[in-house]
Structure 1
């Protein structure tokens, strides 16, 4: 025997679903007031988003070009895994990497791409710090400054 559905359930299914704004209003929350961004906040969010997106793309392109150039020159050489060789001293600091790139080092180009990849979030934090200071949000500025200081220390502090 087939069980008949309750007509009240069918009527509920035929009604259009309530929107998120209606649900928030039912709960007493004003969705428009809390979720709107000012034009400057939206510009800052777009700037930071584009910085991260294009920073990663540029860094990846530099690593790819350096890797291709390196493989063209050294791709046929056998790998010597019997002896550990650390990074040459020229690649142990950002200044050394830049000078290696200027001398045409293929490994230097790869290292430059990795430095760009590391620098991308550092620049993002720096821009956020400037934005917080300009908006006079000093608690956020202090926290962002501490994050920036730790990022910079982790990048260059080990070299000096």
Structure 2
């Protein structure tokens, strides 16, 4: 066991004599070292100019609102469909033993969007899961398409070209597997 003792008789002694002179030197104000310090000085002195504050037009705010809701609700709907399909699948096939010795690839009916829709209409639980995954893949593609339409309406050529390249890349990644 350790024992600690505290010495409370510690005193601070200064070696300076009372006759010593004290000199004060004033330095010129230094230039701010960083942009953060400049911003703090501007904020503290209330010199922020209203022209520096970027504002969005109502159409830009509406587009941003539409796209954010599309992504949010698209993911929620896709997740709900996958969850529903997974629950239904486990209700009917949850007690079956898994056979990992033999690889069973994806059935041909689930390899195309038409096959997935036909499987869902016929009541396939795996088809419901695949439909949820298709919805999840379609959500960002739909976002790119809506962005392309908005940029086309605004006639912003640079954004149109970039968005078309993104859409072409997405399309090729989906369709390229079939060819």
The structure with the larger Rg is 2
Correspondence list, 1:8-157, <5 A: 22=43, 30-32=51-53, 35-157=54-176
After the TM superposition, list the runs of 4 or more consecutive aligned residues in structure 1 that deviate by more than 2 angstroms.
18-23, 25-32
Distance 1:57 1:140 in 2: 28
Query: Which structure has more helix as a fraction of its residues?
Result: 1
Give the Å deviation of 1:21: 7.2
- Unpaired runs of 5+ residues, structure 2, are 1-11, 13-38
SS of the equivalent of 1:64 reads helix
CA offsets 1:43-66 (integer angstroms, 9 cap, x no match): 000000000000000000000000
Using structure 1 for the length normalisation, give the TM-score.
0.81
Distance 1:132 1:156 in 2: 25
- Unpaired runs of 5+ residues, structure 1, are 2-17
Using structure 2 for the length normalisation, give the TM-score.
0.73
Give the Å deviation of 1:152: 1.7
Give the Å deviation of 1:116: 0.2
RMSD: 2.4
